[in-house]
Structure formats: C-alpha cells, structure tokens
Structure 1
Amino acid sequence: MTLNHQRGLTEPAADAAIDQACRMLRLPTLRQQFTAIADAADREQLTYRGFLAELLMAECEDRQRRRSERRIKAAGFPRQKWLNDFDFEANPNIQPAAVHTLAKCEWIRQGHPLCLIGDSGTGKSHLLIALGTEAAMAGFRVKYVLAAKLVNELVEAADELQLNKTIARYGRVDLLCIDELGYMELDKRGADLLFQVLTEREEKASVAIASNESFGGWTNTFTDPRLCGAIVDRLTFNATIIDTGNDSYRMAQTRARQAAEPA
C-alpha cells in the first residue's frame, strides 16, 4: 500500500492518513493516542516542536513499558512482588536504604552476587523477586529459578548430552535468581553441576540467591565439604549479604490478624 502525500487534507482525511502511516511505521502508541495528544496540544497552544516531542515521547515511553513487561515475563517469576509492597517495619533486620541501593542495579553492572539469608517468612523471596523485577525494568536480562528445579534441569541436560548448551543459556542472562537454596540436600553430581553454572558466571554476571540456611549450615545441602566451600566462595566474593533474620513476619501478621478478630 502506498501513502500519497497531499497538502490541504481535510481533518478526516488527515486522521486517516496518520492512521495509515502509523500502521506502516509500526507506531501503535502514536496511532492510539494521536487524537488525544493533538487535542491537548491545541488547548495548550504547543509549538510544532512541542507537539512532535509529546508524540515521540509517548511512543518511546510505551515501547519501554512493553519491553520491560516482556523482560519480566521472560524472567519466569512465580508471582508479582514489588519493593513498594515490602513492609520494612515488619522486619527491622532489613535496612531500606541497603535494599533501595540494590534497586539501582549497580551490583548487576559490576557482576557482583547478592545473598539473602534467613528463615522462612522473613521476606527473602519477596526481595529476590522484587529486585529481579527492578533489574528487568532497568533493561537487564533476568532469570528466576528454584534451586531444585535448576539442578534437576542440569542433571537431565547432562544425561541428554546438552549440558554445555544449558549452562551457556544460564550464563547469558545478566542476573540469575536462585530461590530456595538450602531446602534440600544435593548429591555430589547435582552440586557439581550447580557449581559449573556458578563458575560460568563468576565475576562476569550476577547471581542472587535466597537461602534459609546460614553459610555454616550449607554442608547439609552440599555434602562434599570442599565443593561446599568452593560454592560459598563463588557466591560471597564481592557479594552483598543481607540477613533477613529468624522471625517470620508472615506468622506475626497472621497472629495479629487473628488477635484482632472478634471472638
């Protein structure tokens, strides 16, 4: 389809020409919002340059939003979690300033690790997902995975002679979020395969983990002491370590809610 350029178009003809041009140029936001922006520009007596800037900024902002949504979806988070929803008052172990500094993603640019350590219900997974979401919105490629699922995938890939391909795939993302590390014992083969993923990413791309075990208790997960020490070394070198504590704020909220209910 060709677009004929004519001077002196009537308003309906101009609208139709704009619609056709936006389709051809793949400018969906401009196509949807042109009339409203044009009417606003007329009311506010914008210059031609101001009007053009409003149009282009609307298209750019919407494209950025759609890209962020695609990156968040590709990360594979099990549920939505946002930093704005985190109740810092419920867990005084976690310093808001430290978390908001992490949300700026400089640690990801430098390829540094993040370790969230604490008991169940203390906010580890919330922070892991929320910080991963912030990274995706900032333009980083993010992948979320449960530790057990990752190890099972690596074992299957090794059995099918696809291990190098799988490790390379996990090596390409900017931030790998591993949740529930320490919830189950890993045999030497599974631990060794996980170690290979961490080695692939070492000092090149960030890993963020959430674990209910302190580092001293990781020998319960990684039964080979030397391998356990090597994995801890990979995850703590240049790392930010946040101890979320032992008191479940979910349990505290449940108790408070029950106490407030009429008998």
Structure 2
Amino acid sequence: MVMHSSTGNKLEFVSSPAFVTLRTLGPFAEPDAQRKPPKALDKSARFALDKGFLALGLDRAAAVVLRLNQADPNHERKGSLEFNSKPFSEAEITKNRKMADLLQLTVEDERALAGSAPALMSYFAIVQETAGLDDILFKILDLPSLWSMIRHGGVNANIRFDTKHIATAPDALLTLPTAPRLYQFPVALDLNNQPALNIKFLATAPQPPLLSCGGIVGMLVERPDGKGTYLTLRVISARCSTTKR
C-alpha cells in the first residue's frame, strides 16, 4: 500500500499475510429480569490476517496526536496533514510543509498517523470473524433514514478519528510484564454524513502476542447518544504459537 501525505512524503506499507486461531466467548448480557439472556457461545476459527498492517498499530499514532495537541492545543495551525493514494499539488505541499516544520512533525510521525488506517481496517477484518457480533452491531447501529439512502443512492460509510479525545488510559487496565503504554483511541462511524456509531479502542504496542490484534486489547461500541444496547469486546488471553510453519 502506498500513501502520499499533504507535506509531499511518499509512505509505503508492506502487506504480510499470516494465519491465526481466534477463540470467542460470548455474548454475555447484563442481568435483565424481563428478557432471557442470549446463549453464550464458545467458538474457534482459523483464518488469514495481515500482520504487516496490524504491526503498524494505533499506539504510535496516538502518541503523535497527543504531542501535536500539546503543541497546538487550540488547533490554530495553518495547514493540514492529510493522506491520499495520489500525490498532492505543489501548492498544498508547500503550505503544509510550513505547518509540519512549525510543529516539528517528522516523516516517522506521518508514517505512524497514516499507518493507523490500514491497521484499523485489518483489525475490523478480525472482528468480522467474531461469532454473533453482526446481530449485536445491528441493534446498536443508528441507520440513516430511507430518504437519506435514496438521496445518496444507498449508504456511504466514513470513519472519523476523534483526535481531540485521544488520551492515555490507566495502566491497570492491562496486565503485561513490560507494562506498555495504553491509549484510548476513539473513532466515529458516519453513514450518509450522519453519526451512526461511536467506537472507543484501548490500544497498546502491537508486540507478540498482541500482534494478531494490532495491539487493540479492548473495544467499546455504542450509539452516538450513548443510550440503548452497547457492545464491549476484550482480549482476555493471547499467546504465540509454538508451531513453526
């Protein structure tokens, strides 16, 4: 995958497929006397994932965003950092390079920010393999109106990174010998330019055995208004395979 930044840098990300075995437990619902709880499933699946993209993770992007927010808390920067599959114009590059120099934004910083997109898409591919998840997500999803779907010729989806609310998370939420930094990484899903889902990730360094989940150890999915059904997904155990392939 090749991406171009609005400061004129060309960023390349190498795909590297690998197989993983995923065991899912649940869903588990909060006690409710008025309805029967769903049957908890225990299923396993083996499938291919992209460890090259997952290794990019979200943690480095979160660290860069936090540093930029501290350097420019009121977001008064003149210029923007964007990424595209095609190069930007010279005028855009010149303008945005001035902003990058002012904020001391490096090529590695840009790579961390751009890499969060393929990392996230690869993580969603794993989530698709989670048994019973589709039914829960449709209960949460705030679908656009019929008229909106007619006007847009269907449903247009867009994921927005909520960079203003990226933050460090309490280390106590993750128990690992190396005690890596943990981040809250919120994103929003829009359907036809209307808020449909709020998603908050708990992310750390995507080092084995957490490489297979891109370092994402938890996820909270809820409606934009925070009401009704919500979904939490957590990694409760991870280990590296002892079998060489």
Provide the TM-score with structure 1 as the length reference: 0.24
Q: Greater strand percent: which structure? A: 2
Provide the TM-score with structure 2 as the length reference: 0.26
Task: Select the structure of larger CA radius of gyration.
Answer: 1
Whose RCO is larger (CA < 8 A, sep 6+)?
Answer: 1
